[in-house]
């Protein structure tokens, strides 16, 4: 397939996926109470956070290993990774019930929650493998099934009032989408040389090494993603579940920015950056990095303009004062998302350099920045204000310090970046 056509199809599928997420939240906000939107937000971020406990960020290790060897050795790597995840399931899944025992979430969501957690993790790992394999379009199809198509189906069911409980409708279609995505992902990898691992043993030393490497990423990732999970729970505690619904709605719009950046920019460049640095081609690495940075800035400007034009008409159609009255927070959240997107440039640069410990430390300190600023601001302002401004402060911190350490490392190599 023509490379340009593949890029267009990929961005189209990713774009349709991002639109579907916003469209679903729009319909939930339109036809359901803010409290229901808030519960959906809590379920969504809780599953998203628990995915890191199941994945243990092991892909950060296995992906670099895959990109460093011949593809004929990939089945062995993937088999070892699969064994590792099964072991993690046996340890982690029983503890997930604490979310329901403590009544953080209602017991009626127990079964769909577990089904979503497992199917989402499998589909997510397969999506990452396909991207590492350079099969970005196939990965986009898997992502569309996992995060896009089911949203449109749910929207239709909600609009035509097929079932009175819109949240159950949403969760049910989500499960179908995740399972379908996992099945497609598995089929897409059938052309690898799986027969070559027949009769071979699991490489436990490889798994152990991966755990030590991925452990650094996991600590950093849990801290980073913990911020974007704790924010909903803090808003819920300080302002109530209805305000979580408002926050979830606006955050979904803003998160679409970073998600689109991942689809249109990151997924095409980060693996190439890793490969360029691994083979010692610093010039090519810096060219790819510069291209990533320029693309993120360009897309950010376009999204900012689109948001300025569209947000008020969207709120007019929504016609709910609970959302309109908090519009000022949207702009702060959008700015935060733009800063986070820009911080991905030094982030993936440090990742390519293998500076895992640096990234982990930055993320750990980021948690302290977030909670400290949230607590300080909450003394003087209400809950949503404190969380929104703390997210902005933390985003600025991530950009500045990742860029700082990237520059420091380049200085040790006597390389200048313009």
Q: Which of 55-64, 81-90, 290-299, 307-316 has the highest mean pLDDT?
A: 81-90
How far apart CA 323 and CA 249 sit, in angstroms, is 8
Q: Which of 4-18, 21-35, 38-52 has the lowest mean pLDDT?
A: 4-18
Sequence-ordered list of residues with C-beta below 8 angstroms from that of 245, at least 6 positions apart, any chain: 29, 33, 34, 35, 36, 37, 38, 40, 41, 322
Predicted local distance difference test score (pLDDT) of residue 387 = 93
Strand stretches in 28-161, DSSP E: none
Q: How many helices and strands, by DSSP H and E, does the chain display? A: 17, 0
pLDDT at res. 104:
79
Better-predicted residue by pLDDT, 319 or 125: 125
Report pLDDT for 357: 84
pLDDT at position 268 over 80 = no
Q: What is the pLDDT of residue 417?
A: 59
- 148: helix, coil or strand? helix
346 touches 402 (CB < 8 A): yes
Lowest mean pLDDT: which of 12-21, 70-79, 100-109, 300-309?
12-21
Q: What is the largest CA-CA distance in the chain?
A: 65
pLDDT more than 70, % of the chain: 96
pLDDT bucket at 415, cuts 50 / 70 / 90: low
What pLDDT was estimated at residue 386? Answer: 93
- Is residue 147's pLDDT more than 90? no
Alpha carbon distance 338, 268 (integer Å): 19
Q: How confident is the model at residue 203 (pLDDT cuts 50, 70, 90)?
A: confident
Q: Report percent pLDDT > 90 for the chain.
A: 29
Region class of 320: left (phi > 0), else alpha (psi between -120 and 50), else beta: beta
pLDDT value, residue 1: 55
- The pair phi, psi for residue 382, each rounded to 5°, is -70, 170
| pLDDT of residue 119 exceeding 90 | yes
Q: Are 229 and 45 in contact (CB under 8 A)?
A: yes
Q: Which residue has better confidence, 121 or 21?
A: 121
pTM: predicted TM-score of the whole model, two decimal places: 0.77
What mean pLDDT do residues 35-46 have? 88
Sign of CA dihedral 361, 87, 115, 75: positive
Q: Give residue-wise pLDDT tens across range 244-266.
A: 888 988 888 787 777 777 767 77
Task: Confirm if 224 and 397 have CB atoms less than 8 A apart.
Answer: no
- The Cα–Cα gap between 52 and 198 comes to 30
Name the DSSP letter for residue 202.
P
- Assess contact for 281 and 322: CB atoms under 8 A: no
Residue with tokens 């991207």: 131
């Amino acid at each position: 397939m023509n490379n340009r056509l593949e890029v267009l199809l990929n961005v189209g599928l990713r774009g349709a996926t991002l639109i579907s997420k916003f469209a679903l939240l729009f319909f939930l906000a339109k036809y359901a109470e803010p409290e229901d939107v808030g519960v959906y937000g809590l379920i969504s971020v809780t599953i998203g956070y628990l995915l890191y406990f199941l994945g243990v960020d092991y892909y950060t290790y296995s992906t670099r290993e895959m990109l460093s060897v011949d593809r004929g050795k990939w089945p062995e790597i993937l088999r070892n990774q699969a064994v590792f995840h099964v072991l993690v399931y046996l340890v982690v899944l029983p503890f997930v019930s604490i979310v329901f025992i403590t009544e953080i979430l209602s017991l009626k969501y127990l079964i769909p929650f577990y089904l979503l957690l497992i199917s989402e993790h499998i589909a997510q790992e397969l999506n990452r493998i396909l991207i590492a394999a350079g099969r970005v379009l196939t990965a986009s199809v898997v992502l569309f099934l996992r995060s896009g198509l089911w949203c449109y189906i749910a929207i239709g069911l909600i609009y035509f009032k097929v079932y009175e409980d819109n949240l159950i409708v949403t969760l049910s279609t989500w499960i179908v989408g995740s399972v379908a995505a996992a099945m497609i992902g598995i089929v897409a990898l059938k052309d690898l040389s799986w027969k070559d691992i027949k009769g071979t043993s699991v490489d436990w030393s490889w798994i152990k090494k991966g755990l030590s490497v991925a452990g650094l990423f996991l600590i950093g990732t849990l801290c980073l993603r913990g911020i974007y999970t704790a924010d909903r729970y803090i808003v819920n505690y300080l302002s109530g579940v209805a305000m979580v619904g408002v926050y979830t709605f606006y955050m979904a719009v803003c998160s679409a920015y970073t998600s689109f950046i991942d689809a249109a920019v990151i997924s095409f460049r980060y693996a190439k950056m890793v490969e360029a640095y691994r083979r010692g081609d610093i010039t090519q690495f810096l060219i790819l990095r510069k291209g990533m940075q320029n693309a993120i800035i360009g897309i950010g400007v376009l999204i900012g303009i689109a948001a300025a034009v569209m947000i008020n008409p969207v709120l007019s159609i929504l016609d709910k004062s609970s959302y309109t009255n908090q519009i000022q927070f949207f702009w702060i959240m959008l700015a935060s998302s733009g800063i986070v997107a820009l911080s991905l440039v030094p982030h993936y640069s440090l990742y390519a350099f293998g500076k895992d410990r640096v990234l982990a430390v930055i993320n750990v300190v980021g948690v302290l920045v977030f909670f400290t600023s949230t607590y300080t601001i909450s003394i003087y302002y209400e809950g949503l204000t404190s969380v929104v401004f703390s997210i902005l402060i933390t985003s600025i911190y991530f950009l500045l310090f990742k860029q700082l350490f990237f520059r420091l490392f380049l200085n040790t190599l006597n390389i200048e970046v313009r």
